[in-house]
Amino acid sequence: MMKKIFYTILCILCFFLLIGGVSAKTLKEAKDELNRDIANRNALIQKQKDVQNRIKNAEGDISNLEDEIEKYEQEIEETLAEIDRLNEEIEAKQIEIDNLLNFLEVADGDNVYLEYIFKSKSFTDFIYRSAVVEQLTKYNDDLIDQMYNLIEENKKQQEELNVKIDNNEKSIEKLENKLKTYNVSLKDLETAHTNIDDTIADRKRTVEYYEKLYKQYNCKETVELDTCLTVESASGFIRPTKKGSISSEWGYRRCPIHGRELHSGIDVALGMNNPVYAAASGVVVGITKRSSCGGNIVTIRHNIKGTIYRTRYMHLASINVSMGQKVTVVTEIGKSGGGGYTLRRNGGWDSCSTGAHLHFMILKGSTGSTTINPRKMVKFPAKGKSFSARW
Ligand SMILES: [Zn+2]
């Protein structure tokens, strides 16, 4: 289990070491890269605003459609109440007609029409009064017909309102689906925004340190960093520590997560807070403090008999040099770490180390992440054997 965790951490470390490193060749290029990413971020912000507006509009539309549905439901209720009222009226009119018909057909019973007709003063009057009753019946009949028509109209209106409600509900469903899509793309944009913020922060640091070096070496910003930094030529590398033992070799090995992976440096096991020196004369071109994977890191640029190399020292407990500083083999660049209080699990910052050691790398050229086996250029004892001198 411990071994598995160890290799997992190792793989993560390899990954970080591969993506690390500065890519811009000139200060101008570094500035251009920064400006391009700032422009990209502005475009992202605009896109985020667009999607936020779309979300706002869709939410507004949904709210309007819901209000409409409420209104339609109110109208349906009113229509139903109207139908009820008309039905009641029809019933009342029906009773009235029944009474009138009762009189006309049977001419008995106790009702107001009978009384009305019986009060006739003459036969002509009787005929007249009968005709009035008959007309009343017809009038009521017509009224009932009209009311039935009204009921039909109300029912039709109710159906139409139901169709409108259905349509609104469908529209709401469509809008809600759109909202889901918008929210997903907004989340993606937010992630992209955070990522580009991180990149911009890195680029700003790069520009800052390029500016410092270009000013220090009095170079034009279009001149390549390689040309700008006139580094004294060294004859070769020596061991970066006075003592220690090799606990892990440079090279490919199996990783339970990523398969075959490159361990980009050689691990020198030594206790905490021992001096670490530059492996050759050169200029400090990289300083990373308290990286979550690698801890304190120093990178030095060297000119070894006309060929440019960089050495990198990782998991340091502390850093003793500054950017652009010229160093020699006797310059103490920092103290060893990778164990004790520097470990994440002990409340430190480095999650990519399991014990006190120096991860020592030699990189080809002034940029890129191609490493070479440090054993090719530095005399180290066999794995497991300790040493007590720098050469
Ligand atoms: Zn290592």
Q: Would the pTM count as exceeding 0.85?
A: no
Confidence label for 5 from pLDDT (cuts 50, 70 and 90) = very low
The predicted model gives 245-257 an average pLDDT of: 85
Q: What is the pLDDT of residue 191?
A: 93
- Which pLDDT score is estimated for 384? 93
Ligand 1 center from residue 234 Cα (angstroms): 25
**Letter string b/e over residues 73-105, b meaning 16 or more CB atoms within 10 A of that residue's CB:** eebbeebeebbeebeeebeebeebbebbbebee
pLDDT score for 6: 42
Can you spell out the DSSP letters for 165-233?
HHHHHHHHHHHHHHHHHHHHHHHHHHHHHHHHHHHHHHHHHHHHHHHHHHHHTT--TTSBHHHH--PPE
State the pLDDT at residue 273. 96
The strand pair at 295-304 and 233-234 is best described as: parallel
* Separation of CA 264 and ligand 1 centre (Å): 7
Structure confidence by residue, pLDDT tens digits, 217-232: 677 898 877 667 665 5
Task: Tell me what pLDDT residue 110 has.
Answer: 56
What pLDDT is stored for residue 223 in this prediction?
80
Tokens of 240: 């970066």
Q: What is the mean pLDDT of residues 185-199?
A: 93
**For residue 7, is pLDDT > 70?**
no
**Tokens matching residue 364:** 């080809």
Bridge partners (DSSP) of residue 312 are: 299, 361
Average pLDDT over every residue of 227-247: 82
Ligand 1 center–CA 386 separation, angstroms = 17
**291-327: pLDDT as tens digits:** 999 999 999 999 888 899 999 999 999 999 999 888 9
Answer whether residue 8 shows pLDDT above 50.
no
Q: What's 59's DSSP letter? A: H
The pLDDT of residue 371 is 96
Residue 1 has pLDDT above 80, yes or no: no
Q: At what angle do helices 123-216 and 27-106 cross, to 10 degrees?
A: 170
- At residue 107, the pLDDT reads 53
| pLDDT above 80 (res 235) | no
pLDDT bracket for residue 109 (50, 70, 90): low
How many angstroms separate the Cα of 230 from the Cα of each of 216, 301, 303?
11, 10, 9
CA of 375 to the centre of ligand 1 (A): 14
Taking only the tens place, the pLDDT of each residue in 203-221 is 998 898 888 878 876 778 9
By the 8 A CB rule, do 90 and 147 touch? yes
Summarize the confidence of residues 9-18 as an average pLDDT: 38
Cα(225) to centroid of ligand 1, in Å?
28
Dist CA 13 CA 315 (whole Å): 11
Mean pLDDT calculated for residue range 262-269? 95
pLDDT confidence of residue 22: 47
pLDDT for residue 12 is more than 50: no
The Cα 214–Cα 232 span in angstroms is 17
Spacing, Cα 232 to ligand 1 middle (Å): 29
Q: Mean pLDDT over residues 139-155, rounded?
A: 85
For residue 6, how far is its CA from the centre of ligand 1 (angstroms)? Answer: 11
Checking if the pLDDT of 66 tops 70, the result is: yes
Mean of per-residue pLDDT scores for the chain: 85
Q: How far apart are CA 322 and CA 319, in angstroms?
A: 8
CA of 290 to the centre of ligand 1 (A): 16
For residue 5, report the distance from its CA to the centre of ligand 1, in Å: 14
- For the cut 90, the answer to whether the pLDDT of residue 233 exceeds it is no
Q: Cα of 73 to ligand 1 centre, how many Å?
A: 72
CA of 376 to the centre of ligand 1 (A): 17
User: Higher confidence at residue 153 or residue 42?
Assistant: 42
| Cβ–Cβ under 8 Å, residues 280 and 234 | yes
Q: How far is the CA of 326 from the centre of ligand 1 (A)?
A: 26
Average pLDDT rounded to a whole number, residues 240-266:
87
Residue range 167-185: mean pLDDT, rounded: 91
- What spacing in Å lies between the alpha carbon of 260 and ligand 1's midpoint? 15
pLDDT greater at residue 288 or residue 14 = 288
Check whether 119 has a pLDDT greater than 90: no
123-142: average pLDDT: 83
Q: What is the pLDDT of residues 359-383, one digit of tens each?
A: 999 999 988 999 999 999 999 999 9
Model confidence at 2: pLDDT above 60: no
Cα of 357 vs centre of ligand 1, distance in Å, is 8
